Amino acid sequence: MNLRIRVYHIVFQFLTSGDLMDFIDITVGLIVLIILEIVLGIDNLVILSILSEKLPPQQRKKARRWGLTLSWVMRLIILALAVDLIKLTKPLLTLANMSLSARDFFLIGGGAFLIWKATDEIHQDVTEELESNDKKTGGFKTTFRAVIFQIALMDIIFSLDSVLTAVGLTSHFWVMAVAISSAILIMIFASEVVSAFIKEHPTIKMLALSYLILIGMVLVADGFSFHIPRGYIYFAMGFSLAVESLNLVKHSRKKRQSRSGK
């Protein structure tokens, strides 16, 4: 009986103290942050799937696992340096009444790299049939290390957005670390599904690459202090994805009709 009264007393103290509000605040913050980290990691997951497709089938799964592990490590390292990361807004250079910080240079460089990489991938896809003979006769062969190196560069770029979001939402380091780690674990299991879907529907790959160009342009604009509201970007991406979804439904129905006709 005394034990039950003691338990009730502890529960009552917890409910009437500020600890309950802190617990709710941390729990809600953790859930929201995990969702945001997954959303922010989708573009990383897409480019990871695209890059790994260049490798032989037996190496693709390994490359995706290595890539996501690198992404997790990069995010935790940058998160540990979050205090210094926030200070990167100190102006280093002023041009035409525009101040540029280390963070701005990082965003401009990262955005330019994304634009170049996505454009190069689109060019290779468009000219794939014309260059197929050259590749068969000893052209450049993509190696596992080369793909992992490119994935690492992408991880550094995408990690900044992820960490800045985490730092902006909560002041608890362990909450940020748990959210980032949980998001990466979820993406590890989702990577196979995303890769299979992109391989089955090549037009999705082209759409994803165009998204990367758009994201790269947004990063460059942010670097030059020209902020583009994310709502416009999400609407454009959502609208184009909806149109592409209709095309996929149309093509799948045509395939079913042709099979039934046979």
137-191 residue pLDDT tens: 344 456 788 888 887 777 777 676 666 656 655 667 777 778 778 877 877 777 7
Low-confidence winner among 21-25, 47-51, 165-169, 241-245 (lowest mean pLDDT): 165-169
Check residue 36 and give its pLDDT. Answer: 65
Q: Around Cβ 74, how many Cβ atoms within 10 Å?
A: 21
Give the span between the Cα atoms of 46 and 38, in whole angstroms: 12
pTM over 0.85: no
97-129 residue pLDDT tens: 788 888 788 778 878 887 887 788 788 777 764
- Say if CB 142 and CB 63 are below 8 A apart: no
pLDDT value at 201 more than 70: yes
Burial (CB count within 10 angstroms: exposed 0-12, middle 13-18, buried 19+), residue 158: buried
Amino acid at 139: G
Check residue 133 and give its pLDDT. Answer: 45
End-to-end CA distance of the chain: 78
Q: What rounded mean pLDDT belongs to the chain?
A: 73
**CA nearest 211: which of 55, 92, 44, 66?**
44
For the four alpha carbons of 76, 77, 82 and 85, in that order, the dihedral sign comes to: negative
Cα–Cα distances in angstroms (integers) from residue 253 to residues 249, 250, 260, in the given order: 6, 5, 11
- Say if CB 221 and CB 227 are below 8 A apart: yes
Check residue 255 and give its pLDDT. Answer: 79
Cα–Cα distances in angstroms (integers) from residue 46 to residues 32, 117, 161, in the given order: 22, 13, 16
